[in-house]
Amino acid sequence: MKKKTRIGLRLNISSELRREIIESYSFRCRSFGASEAAFVEDRLPLILQRLRQRGVTDRQIALVAGCLSEYWVKCEQQSKSYVLIGAALHYLVDPNDVIPDYHLGVGYCDDVIVLNECLSNLRKIDRQLYQEIEESIQFE
């Protein structure tokens, strides 16, 4: 039986909105630097703690993001994997992304798309790292 790695969430969003979310993530990948990394390091523990106390989907987000953060700190800085993961985590901790996180019920939908996109990109550029992450993620 194949393990489930991607966060499962039925999203009824337009292709235009999805494109906007992916473009925002791509921009963060291109502009990711030391200040964004510091922002992630500062905010991520609190965000993960909050997500772990919520519903199933939020706990899945926390599991994937927590696992990605563990591998992020092991990546060589400015490698493609470091930037892909860092930008995805930056997107997660930034409350003012495409769908602001304060919108209850839908605020993390775009974060799910970005985390799944990050995993897809990692699978293409760093198969070994992706497989290590995949083995670490175990949904109930």
Q: What is the pLDDT of residue 1?
A: 40
Q: Mark 11-47 as b/e (b = at least 16 C-beta within 10 Å).
A: eeeeeeeeeebeebbeebbeebeeebbeebeebbeeb
- Scan for tokens 């798309």, then name that residue: 113
Mean pLDDT within 38-58 = 91
Could you give the C-alpha distances from 135 to 3, 4, 103, in angstroms and in order?
8, 10, 32
- Ordered by start, the domain boundaries in the chain are 15-136
Mean pLDDT within 86-110 = 89
Q: Which amino acid is at 60?
A: Q
Q: Render pLDDT for 102-139 as a digit per residue (tens, 0 to 9).
A: 877 778 889 999 999 999 999 999 999 999 998 888 76
Total H helices, total E strands in the chain: 6, 0
Report which listed range, 13-17, 31-35, 135-139, is most confident.
Answer: 31-35
The pair of structure tokens assigned to 18 is 């999805």
Among residues of the chain, what percentage have pLDDT more than 90?
61
